[in-house]
Amino acid sequence: MKLNYLMLDVFTRERLKGNQLAVVTKADGLLDGEMQAIAREFNLSETVFILKPNAERNTAAIRIFTPHTELPFAGHPTVGASVVLGLQNKVSAVRLEEKVGLITALFEKSDKRSGEARFALPRLPSRVAPLPDKLGMAQALGIEIEDIGCDMYQPGVYSAGVTFHLVPVRDAEVLRRVKANPAIWNKVFHHDHNSAYVFTLTPDEPDNDLAARMFGMDIGEDPGTGSAAAALIGLLSEHANLATGQADFVLRQGHEMGRPCRITIQLRKENDVLIHGGIGGHAVIVGEGVLDLGE
């Protein structure tokens, strides 16, 4: 069996930047275990498999795997798959069936190998639990306890389909110094995938409003995490200075790894209630090949 695949860099306009993604373009017929084994073979943060949709009016179904497990939703695979399908089908919108729900992504072509995709979250973020142990978090992140917190933001556990421990820190210098301490990590960040999304405001950086780093999910540090940015919308919404209206943010991630990502974030509230969250970014195809799985 031979399977075509594409390699993309996501949340970037530049090749060899952003977050890497493998896209298996015609994955119908693969068993769950085979998809997991292929994702382990690529050994990227995520691999996405494109399948025929269950409903004819939808563009495709996609399944998303880390090297260790399947995810119901992830941002950079959704952006990457949307760009691939938008380019292949020459359309301005794609409808994706994911485990978390149906996602409609708007697509804008940049050139024959790249484009931008933006989508509304199929599940709005919500607060899962408080995160009060600042001493533990400081020790797990290799920083000081007074470094925890930024402006009005305080730590909390949020999910928009995938759970993250959100940890605001004082400034970009503290963010740069974060170093995960595996000895106590899972004890401090004990929900679901043990993943922490550490972020800060960047008022001195003209190209973005926020900066973040993501650690955990058995992949170490991730250069660009759309599902974490989606969870962050929940925390941003709680403190957004508007009861009704829209707020837009640009977030950078991956700079400390040499894989800079640019993620756009959008939230909309009505009568002080979050009614819309959106994520977007660019992706560029950097390679293609064939998996030869034998007879």
Q: Are 104 and 119 in contact (CB under 8 A)?
A: yes
The residue count of the chain comes to: 295
Residues 214, 115 within the same domain = no
167 and 209 belong to one structural domain: yes
Question: Do 141 and 209 belong to one domain?
Answer: yes
Range(s) of the domain holding residue 163 = 126-281
Report the alpha-carbon distance of residue 92 to residue 65 in Å, rounded. 26
Judge if 132 and 277 occupy the same domain: yes
pLDDT at 217: 72
Asked if residue 257 and residue 142 are part of one domain, the reply reads yes
Task: Please give the chain's pLDDT, 295 residues, in tens.
Answer: 899 999 999 999 999 999 999 999 999 999 999 999 999 999 999 999 999 999 999 999 999 999 999 999 999 999 999 999 999 999 999 999 999 999 999 999 999 999 999 999 999 999 999 999 999 999 999 999 999 999 999 999 999 999 999 999 999 999 999 999 999 999 999 998 899 999 999 999 999 999 999 998 777 899 999 999 999 999 999 999 889 999 999 999 999 999 999 999 999 999 999 999 999 999 999 999 999 998 7
* pTM of the full structure: 0.96
The residues facing 64 across adjacent strands are 48, 71
Domain count, the chain: 2
Residues 277 and 133 in one domain: yes
CATH (domain of 132): 3.10.310.10
Rounded to whole angstroms, the Cα distance separating 130 from 20 reads: 32
User: Catalytic positions, please?
Assistant: 46
Same domain, 131 and 75: no
Query: Are residues 58 and 139 both part of a single domain?
Result: no
CA distances for 120 relative to 101, 106, 177, 267, angstroms: 11, 9, 33, 9
Statement to judge: residues 268 and 231 lie in one domain: yes
